[in-house]
Amino acid sequence: MIHVFPQETAIQDIAVGQSVPARRVLLRFNRAGKIHFLRMGTESRNPGLPGYVEQLPGQGTSTASITRTETSKWTISAPPGSLARLAVWGPEPVDLGLYRVSFEIDLDVQRP
């Protein structure tokens, strides 16, 4: 699962061809029966997410970018050498430190 929060606007309001920084990106995955988050960006509060996610630290991480490539398509990316913080999710998240990452994720809206 991916949570993406652009700077200053909603993802739907980014113009086609425009790139904006992401104030926060969370990549969620399961490993060994536990939920993990890889986080980029230091923005901390968003009322739409569970409280545990709000406690995941973002200090020291890089900023990913969001590019709208078509009316219903976006690319979320972080260049080589970017830093993300890994944590185990729960009532008291466990910070597993900073990791160098790079990624490019294409999002395509299937339903309007």
The rounded percent of the chain whose pLDDT value lies above 90 is: 55
Taking the C-alpha atoms of residue 63 and residue 25, their distance in angstroms, rounded to an integer, is: 8
Residues 6+ apart with CB under 8 A from 35: 28, 29, 88, 89, 90
> Is the separation of the CB atoms in 88 and 96 below 8 Å?
yes
Number of domains in the chain: 1
pLDDT of res. 46 = 52
Strand partners for 40: 25
The pTM (predicted TM-score) of the whole model is: 0.81
Domain residues for the domain of 58 are 2-108
Taking the C-alpha atoms of residue 58 and residue 84, their distance in angstroms, rounded to an integer, is: 8
Give the model confidence (pLDDT) of 6-24 as tens digits.
888 888 999 999 999 998 8
| φ/ψ bin of 53: left (φ > 0), alpha (ψ from -120 to 50), beta (otherwise) | alpha
Give the model confidence (pLDDT) of 13-72 as tens digits.
999 999 999 988 989 999 999 999 899 987 655 545 555 555 566 788 999 999 999 999
Higher pLDDT, 9 or 102: 102
Block residue for tokens 């990791």: 99
CA 48 centroid distance within chain: 14
Residue at 80: amino acid letter:
P
**Is a pLDDT exceeding 80 seen at residue 112?**
no
pLDDT of res. 42 = 74
